[in-house]
Amino acid sequence: MCGIVAVTGYKKALPILINGLEKLEYRGYDSSGIAIINSETNSITCNKAEGKLKNLISNLNDQNIPGTVGIGHTRWATHGKPELKNAHPHTDSAGTIAVVQNGIIENFQDLKNKLEKEGISFNSDTDTEVIPHLIERELNTLSKLNLENNGSTLLVAVRNVISDLEGSYALAVLWAEAPTSLVVARRQAPLIIGLGEGEFICASDTPAIANFTNIILPMEDEEIALLTPLGIEIYDSNNERQYRNPVSLKVSEQIMDKMNFKHYMLKEIYDQPGTAKNWLENYLIKNLENGQYQIKYPFDTKFLKSIERIEIIACGTSKHAAMVGSFLLEQFAGIPANVFYASEFRYSPPPLLPNTLTIGVTQSGETADTIAALDMEIKRRSSIDDKKFKPNLIAITNRKESSIGRQIPNIIDICAGIEVGVAATKTFFAQLLSFYGLAIKFAHIKCSRSSNEIDKLITELLKLPPIIEDLLEKHNKSSEKLAHDFFNIKDVIFLGRGINYPIALEGALKLKEISYIHAAGYPAGEMKHGPIALLDKKVPVISIASSGEVFDKVISNAQEAKARNSYLIGIAPEINGTEIFDYLMQIPSSNEWISPLLNIIPLQLLSYHIAAHRGLDVDQPRNLAKSVTVE
Ligand code: M6R
């Protein structure tokens, strides 16, 4: 959601903060700000701007703020509109304490009311602003105990304050009286400390750290830390000092390079042949004795034998990948599987059933709804004294070091490399692949498919990289041309059936997210039950018609749209029946199981080109953020 970066050391803080914020802007871009302890005046210099980070940079243009300790923030608005007054950092009344926060302080209104009664006036509508005022009050109390004005005292004050906060947060605090110290804390929102030589940087995500160091220490939930150039002290929620070894950042977590592409999203769409290759090399392993391929996930999969049903929890695009996954697990591998919106699961979970596998899917590994739903499921299963009900868990993520990576022991790292564009593309593709892997594994374990059928699917997967390359080659220009004709439309309907119904949903989500055109995906057979009322010549219909089980049905449903004058775009192979389409985005004929992996490519390209043609900020669409760490 919001991005936080904080630094203490010997180098000038301003460029480090700006560089960090540039790398975190995908987390929110409603406003940004920095606060630095000015080493000449020993006071805090704050600078903020509404809108994109470039506005802050232009504000700061001629300023040379001396100081080596500072905090920065890029905001995704929750409490209070995206206006200057709500931009972080927020300060206490005297301007000697500055705070940046990512999360939601659920009891802020009660706290604010109390502070207002004590005579404190507020300058913003945010939940965050209570924090510097509470810290100020706490420091005043501590000063009566004759504690020194230093980082340790700030640490005590922040610890006392966060014990009164409800909700989830990651925060960083500066105090002018402790000019080399930084205090950072987290609860259910990510924070990672980067270890430089005699300097430390703390941020919500690794890209902000990568230019600085590749040695990191992810903070655990409910931890608080004091950072000075001399070292770091980390404490858990029981105030026990924590000692653990740092880890190295993976190379893929360090690279953010648009290369020659106009937008990250287009580059990431083009990354997909490489994503497929990488995934296949990592997880599809040839048995040298019998020459057969096997799926090898990096954890002991013996426990899968006892699994009788699967629940999958996810949000947004990850949920669409989960829906394809559930189709494969049920229809290919024969295991009952259900998909849940994480935000719904949490408050209306299904009754507990034995021998269930719970799969969490999240590219960022930080989505609050998903993490909380999984947490709830782990707790309710662990509280039952019957091993049939114990939690069996797998996470599918692109960020092994994230919150889900710490929450769940069995991780399928989708290995897609960092995805910067807010609209998920290559991570969706790699999530799909991970479900193909699971379906193959289950089909094998449960003997629900013959070796021949399994081998056939594996052979199709192995052929993917060049096929995806060809699809990109074929459809980039054609979708750019199509976008030229369609960039001004108001509504689009996406239809798909069976394994491609989630692809229709994902096509519609991609278009909505980045072009702001209203789009809706439906199971093709459902259109006649209502959505057909929307159709006329101004509403194009994009129909996914892969050869196989439901091809004829999808074509009949497309006929129904044609009869209502809709312009029909087909995502289909060039075979009998597809002449009905006014425009065919041709897909090579393939095995139906594999078709989602092909059909998604032209849909991603079309959304991209429509949004780019409309002159929109494709990589940072309005109101969105790459990782949604609030409920
Ligand atoms: O990080 P996650 O996969 O958990 O994110 C879930 C959704 O927020 C995400 O897929 C969202 O829908 C994207 N903007 C999709 O492009």
How many other β-carbons are positioned within 10 Å of the β-carbon of residue 291?
7
The answer to whether 474 is a known catalytic residue is no
Sign of dihedral through CA atoms 588, 591, 594, 600? Answer: positive
* 8 Å CB contact between 412 and 437: yes
What is the C-alpha separation between 623 and 194, in angstroms, rounded? 29
Region of 180 please: left (phi>0), alpha (psi -120 to 50) or beta.
Answer: alpha
Tokens representing 163?
Answer: 């014990």
CB atoms within 10 A of CB 110: 12
Token readout for 226 is 């004091």
Task: Give the strand pairing for 309-314 and 337-341.
Answer: parallel
Q: Is the dihedral of CA 277, 282, 283, 287 positive or negative?
A: positive
Question: Which amino acid is present at 526?
Answer: E
How much distance in Å is there from the Cα of 179 to the middle of ligand 1?
39
What whole-number distance in Å separates Cα of residue 75 and Cα of residue 51?
A: 9
What mean pLDDT, rounded, does the chain reach?
93
In the chain the domains, ranked by start, together with CATH numbers, are 3-253 (3.60.20.10), 257-462 (3.40.50.10490), 470-620 (3.40.50.10490)
202 a catalytic residue: no
Give the pLDDT confidence of 108-135 residue by residue, as tens digits: 999 999 999 999 999 999 999 999 999 9
Write phi, then psi, for 611 (nearest 5 degrees): -65, -40
Contact 36, 67 (CB under 8 A): yes
pTM (2 d.p.): 0.85
pLDDT at 400: 85
pLDDT confidence tier of residue 549, bands split at 50, 70 and 90: confident
Q: Is residue 620 helix, strand or coil?
A: coil
Question: How far, in Å, is the centroid of ligand 1 from the Cα of 627?
Answer: 7
The residue-averaged pLDDT of 601-618 equals 96
Beta carbons of 4 and 207 less than 8 angstroms apart: no
Q: Is 569 helix (H, G, I), strand (E, B) or coil?
A: strand
DSSP, residue by residue, 229-254? TTEEEEE-TT--EE----EEPPGGGT
Tokens of 143: 């000063």
Ligand 1: which of 205, 367, 503 to mutate, judged by most atoms within 8 Å of the beta carbon? 367
Confidence of residue 154 (pLDDT cuts 50, 70, 90): very high
What's the confidence (pLDDT) of residue 255?
63
Instruction: Answer yes or no: are the C-beta atoms of 62 and 38 closer than 8 Å.
Output: no
Report percent pLDDT > 70 for the chain.
99
Pairing of the two strands 284-286 and 293-295: antiparallel
Give residue 337's pLDDT band: very low, low, confident or very high (50, 70, 90): very high
- Name the closest-CA residue to atom 14, ligand 1: 423
Q: How far apart are CA 493 and CA 87, in angstroms?
A: 38
Which pLDDT belongs to residue 29?
A: 85
The pocket around ligand 1, CB under 6 angstroms, is made up of: 315-318, 362-364, 367, 370, 422-424, 513, 624, 627-628
Please tell me the distance between residue 318's alpha carbon and the centre of ligand 1 in angstroms: 6
Q: Which atom of ligand 1 is nearest to the CA of 431?
A: 3
3-state secondary structure 365-395: CCCHHHHHHHHHHHHHHHCCCCHHHCCEEEE
